[in-house]
Amino acid sequence: MASASDLGSTDDYEALMSMTDVELLKSAWRQQKAAPEILQFESRLIKRVREQIQLMEETVEEFTESGFDPLTVSLYQMDLDRTQFLLRSYLRIRLQKIEKYMFHIFATAELLTRLSKEEKWFIERCCVDLQTHLEKSVLSQLPYTYQSIFQQSVINDETDMVAKPQLDTFVVCKTKYYLGHIQLEDNADGEPDGSGSQKPLEEPFEMEPNVLYFVRYKAVKKFVEEGKIDLY
């Protein structure tokens, strides 16, 4: 039978493991998985989740040693496994995007600010080590005009060999609030009007709450960053 201290531990566990942070982690995981680019690292949330995981591990261990009901222990263990999966998957998805777009992220100040301290250290080491390896093993053997790791030729100003996220990718999303005057196309992509200036290809559209939409990511990018739109 559970002691008073066991019951107290259960109350503390349930208070700390409210669904709020788990749901927030699930949302952050879903957003990061669906977005074509690296999003802001949720440092405060991740810190809280790690603390909660530690509490869960201690609780499961304590209940197991004290002979607590095996069914109850298994339920706590399931909660622990689910939370650990979400955390590991969230960090793994971010790591995959960092590896894929490392040179682009490293060269873009705004994207660097989205990384955690550990991610910044990782991307810096990766960029330096990979560039050094390629220069010594391949690039140094090529003609000078083809020795750039970022460009097909040094006479080309564009970094056309650096992998970048495709912001034109279509995403499934849902808004939490009513959003109006969303422009699907950039003005620069529009056809010139009678005065010679650019005009949008599409009319602005509106998004109703709790309705799924299938749109290009770049059209809703700022709303995703502001937390007004959820990706699925």
Query: CA 185, CA 188: separation in Å to the nearest integer?
Result: 8
Query: CA 22, CA 124: separation in Å to the nearest integer?
Result: 31
The pLDDT assigned to 202 comes to 67
The pLDDT assigned to 86 comes to 97
Query: CA 155, CA 146: separation in Å to the nearest integer?
Result: 9
Under DSSP, the state recorded for 194 is: T
The pLDDT assigned to 15 comes to 46
Query: CA 44, CA 78: separation in Å to the nearest integer?
Result: 24
The pLDDT assigned to 8 comes to 47
Name the strand (E) or helix (H) holding 82: helix 70-100
List pLDDT tens digits, range 16-60: 455 589 999 999 999 999 999 999 999 999 999 999 999 999 999
Under DSSP, the state recorded for 211 is: -
Domains and CATH numbers, the chain: 4-100 (1.20.58.1030), 101-163 (no CATH), 170-231 (3.40.5)
Q: pLDDT below 50 — which residues of the chain? A: 1-8, 15-16, 188-193, 200
